[in-house]
Amino acid sequence: MFNLTSCPPVIVATVSGRSYYRITSVLKSLDLRYLSLSPEEAALSKGRVIITTDDESRIVNREGVFLDTQLEKYPLSIKAKILQNCMGYYGSSKEQLIIGIDPGKRIGISILYCQFELDKIIMSSVHATIERISFILSSIESPTKIVRIGDGSLSLSHQIAGILSSNFKDKIVIEIVDEYGTSIRQGTEKNRSGIRDMSSARKIAFRKGKIWNSYK
């Protein structure tokens, strides 16, 4: 699977100490490498992704520029764009957004883009799950968007699938996935609240399922 550490660093182009701290804090939380340049240096650099402020973007004045406000509001979307640019840099074309869901008392979610796990989340309700997934599907651009839902709690799986299908119609593909073998064995160190559910969601995301419309 692709490794983000091999991507060229994100260029952080600002002389504002407050904006610099906000930008780099988010980049660190996303495990992204970065290089600090002035807006003037960034304008002449070969960086494919540059993050700056609204005022300083006029100095950078080139493609591949994102604002600090965009990064704070849509961190996963920006991470996906960074990954997309990086994949293009290495001549790869596996652009695909996949969301794996492990339904249950705790709902595990794994978000994959270009086969890379952008994030993993635990939600405690169907409502919160639908809200988070809907935001991700709306904010990340991709020609193919697939939601894969485990069949361990089939009524819950169909509930989530039905709501997402109603909200997004033919903009997404929904699959029901056989969960057999996706759970961590009882008694293992990783078999703890949250970790197990996120691990299962990731395995579900990588496993092809049956199209939900034909499953009913």
Residue-wise pLDDT for 147-180, tens only, equals 999 998 889 999 999 999 999 999 999 999 998 7
pLDDT tens for each residue of 192-215: 556 888 889 999 999 999 998 755
Do 138 and 126 meet the contact criterion of CB atoms below 8 Å apart? no
- Provide the pLDDT confidence category of residue 1 given band limits of 50, 70 and 90: very low
The CA distance from 152 to 207, in Å, is 14
Give the count of alpha carbons within 13 A of 19, CB side only.
21
Spell out the domain ranges in the chain: 4-89, 97-215
* Least confident segment among 53-62, 84-93, 105-114, 122-131: 84-93
Backbone torsion region of residue 133, taken as left when φ is above 0, otherwise alpha when ψ lies between -120 and 50, otherwise beta:
alpha
CATH class of 97-215: alpha beta
CATH class of 4-89: alpha beta
* Least confident segment among 1-10, 99-108, 158-167, 172-181: 1-10
pLDDT tens for each residue of 179-192: 876 665 555 444 55
How many Cβ atoms are within 10 Å of 63's Cβ, its own excluded? 7
Query: Which of 172, 166, 180 has its CA nearest to residue 147?
Result: 172
